[in-house]
Amino acid sequence: MMATIAFIGLGNMGAPMASNLLEAGHNIRAFDLSQEALAQLANKGATAAHSAQAAVADTDIIISMLPAGKHVQDLYISGDTPLFDHIKKGALVIDSSTIDAETARTVAQAGAERGIHCIDAPVSGGVGGAVAGTLAFMVGANDEQFSRAQPILSCMGKNIFHAGASGAGQVAKACNNMLLSILMTGTCEALNMGVKNGLDPSVLSEIMKQSSGNNWALQVYNPYPGVMETAPASNHYQGGFQVDLMYKDLGLAMEMSQLSASPIPMGSQARALFTQHKAKGNGSLDFSSVMQLYQDQ
C-alpha cells in the first residue's frame, strides 16, 4: 500500500533511504536544513517541504534520520516549535537516528501522551547498505507498532528485527557496534602481526577466514589495503563508516555500560584505540583505517 511519508534528515544515510522509499512508489515529503540535499531528492520525485512542520502536516508516517539524541529531542519535544504539536494523532513516527536509549524512550513517551506512536529503529549496514536497500533495522516498539512499520522498513532494508520494547533498538545497536569495534581492532592487530613476521596479508586473511578466527571484517570488510577490492581499505579508507561515527557509537555504549553496571573491558579498550586514531585527525576516514594505528602511520 502506497503511503505519504514525511522524511526528515537527508544526510549520507537519510538521502538514499528516502530514495528507496520513492522507488517503492511512496510519496515523500522531505525536509533537510541543506537545500542541496532537498533539491537532489526533489529531482527524484520527492516534494521538498519548506519546514519540518510543513513536511509532517496531515501525514500518517514520519521518518527521521538525525545525527544525535539532542537533535531528536529538540525536533520532537523541546525545540521552539516541537514537531509533536504538528503531527496528527495516530501517526507513526519512526526514528532511525542512532541515539541513547533513554532519549528514545523519552521521545516515545512524549509521543504516546499525545496519541502518537513513536518507535526507535536504528540501522546497521552503512551508506552502502542504505543505497542498496539492504540495511538491518533494530526496532524498539510494541507488536502493533512493529507490524505497522515493517512494510515501510522493508523498502529500505532486508533484515528487520523486533528487538523489544521502546529503546530496545538503540540497546541492540550499541551492543552490535561495540562488538564490531572489538572485532575490527582485533583483526587489524592479527593482520599487522602476521605481516610484520613475513606473511602475505591476503594469505593470512584466507587462513583466518577458513579457521576459528573468522569474522565479518575478514569476510566482507578486510582492513588491509589491497586484500579486498571492494573494501574501503583498498580505496584509501574513503566511504564506508566513519571513525567519527564509531567514536560516537562507542560513547553511547560507554554510557549504557555505566548506567547498567555492565563490565566492558574490551569495549573500553577499543574505544581508547578509536579515540587515539581520531585524535590524529582521522575522523573522516572509514573505521577500518584503525589499521594505520597499528602500522604506526
CB 172 within 8 A of CB 193: no
Percent of the chain as helix, strand, coil, to the nearest 5: 55, 15, 35
Beta carbons within 10 angstroms of residue 135's beta carbon? 26
136: left (phi over 0), alpha (psi -120 to 50) or beta: beta
User: Is 70 assigned a catalytic role?
Assistant: no
Cβ-based neighbours of 182, under 8 Å, separated by 6 or more: 266, 267, 269, 270
Angle at 172 between CA 250 and CA 130, to 5 degrees: 85
Amino acid, single-letter form, for residue 183 = L
Residue type, 229: E
Considering the candidates 173, 196, 248, 280, report the single residue annotated as catalytic. 173
Integer CA distances (angstroms), 158 to 77, 153, 167, 222, 241, in order: 31, 8, 21, 23, 19
Active site residues: 173
